[in-house]
Each structure stands twice: as C-alpha cells, then as structure tokens.
C-alpha cells in the first residue's frame, strides 16, 4: 500500500470533502481517503498494483475538482 497526498483545487466545503472521499473510496484498490478542503488536499491509501496514481487523479477530475501536479507519495 502507498499513501498519496494530492493537491486538489475546487473544494470549498465539508460537502465537497464528503463527495470526493466517497467517490474515491469506491475505487478498487483504495483503502482510506481523507479530503481536507481547508488545506486543499486529499490523502489516499491505495494499492498501486490495483490502481495507479494517475487514475486517482482522473477520478478526482471526474468529480469536478482539479488535481494539481504537485502531489507526493510514500
């Protein structure tokens, strides 16, 4: 499992956090998700053998948010 901290523009409230977290949690290979609109990021624990980081970014964009390119993984 890896952890990705992805910068996300466009979240403005707790509802945005919940919507994004729920959408990412449904993705195969994703463990935990913690979105934070005040910090403008989402932390995702995921299995890179099942889902690639780029796919997570695509799911974020599909939810109407803008994942920026300055994310980190560990």
pTM: 0.85
Top-level class of domain 2-73: alpha beta
Residue extents of the structural domains in the chain: 2-73
Phi, psi of 4 (to 5 degrees): -120, 130
Tens digits of residue pLDDT in 18-69? 999 999 999 999 999 999 999 999 999 999 999 999 999 999 999 999 998 6
Contact, 29 vs 47, CB < 8 A?
A: yes
């Amino acid at each position: 499992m890896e952890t990705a901290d992805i910068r996300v523009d466009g979240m403005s409230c707790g509802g945005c956090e919940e919507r994004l977290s729920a959408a990412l949690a449904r993705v195969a290979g994703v463990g935990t998700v913690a979105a934070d609109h005040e910090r403008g990021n989402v932390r995702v624990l995921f299995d890179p053998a099942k889902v690639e980081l780029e796919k997570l970014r695509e799911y974020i964009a599909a939810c109407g948010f803008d994942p920026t390119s300055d994310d980190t993984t560990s």
